[in-house]
């Protein structure tokens, strides 16, 4: 059985660090696409940035996340976010979710347990691609939980501990 495992959470909560270590241990991992898009847009002077046009930005992110879902070819793979994360960001900003994106979230299923990394002020930082305040990260966290529950996923909060212990926790949960 193919297991598409989502690691989700607000910005700056350690998702990408977890994915990078899993990847270094030869797990099949799909990287976060949002930061790549932002970096490319900033480099080229593009206008598809979440703080300028969240809906256009989300359209590109969702397209790439749908492609990641389609590219799955291993029994176990990990995703740094999913289509549903984009919908949570839209919901947070009060933007209506197009019916085709809702259908994508319904039709492109992942493993029923979603691993959420909660806001953790001790590790939180901002940079050129992550501009959200810690308070905004907490709001995003709440919308992520609400959106994943809406689509029928079980939320598993990843403990605030070392990356190695977080990974062990996730792998143990998958085996239950």
Domain that holds residue 128: 3-175
Domain count for the chain: 1
Percentage with pLDDT > 90 across the chain: 70
127 or 121, which is more confident: 121
Residues paired with 157 in a beta bridge? 116
Supply angle C-alpha 131, 89, 160, rounded to 5: 70
Give SS3 for 131.
coil
Specify whether the CB–CB gap between 115 and 153 falls below 8 A.
no
What confidence score (pLDDT) does residue 54 get? 86
Q: How far is CA 38 from the centre of its chain?
A: 15
Q: Tell me the CATH number at 117.
A: 3.40.50.300
Residues paired with 5 in a beta bridge? 78
């Amino acid at each position: 059985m193919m297991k598409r495992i989502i690691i989700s959470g607000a910005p700056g909560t350690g998702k990408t660090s977890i994915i990078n270590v899993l990847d270094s241990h030869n797990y099949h991992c799909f990287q976060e696409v949002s930061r790549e898009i932002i970096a490319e847009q900033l480099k080229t002077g593009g206008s598809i940035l979440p703080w300028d046009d969240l809906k256009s930005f989300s359209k590109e992110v969702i397209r790439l996340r749908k492609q990641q879902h389609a590219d799955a070819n291993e029994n176990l793979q990990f995703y740094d976010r999913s289509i549903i994360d984009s919908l949570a960001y839209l919901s947070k900003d009060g933007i209506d979710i197009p019916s085709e994106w809702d259908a994508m979230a319904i039709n492109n299923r992942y493993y029923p347990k979603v691993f959420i990394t909660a806001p953790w002020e001790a590790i939180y930082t901002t940079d050129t691609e992550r501009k959200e305040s810690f308070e905004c990260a907490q709001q995003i966290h709440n919308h992520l939980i609400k959106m994943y529950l809406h689509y029928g996923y079980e939320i598993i909060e990843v403990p605030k501990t070392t990356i190695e212990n977080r990974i062990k926790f996730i792998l143990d949960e998958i085996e239950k």
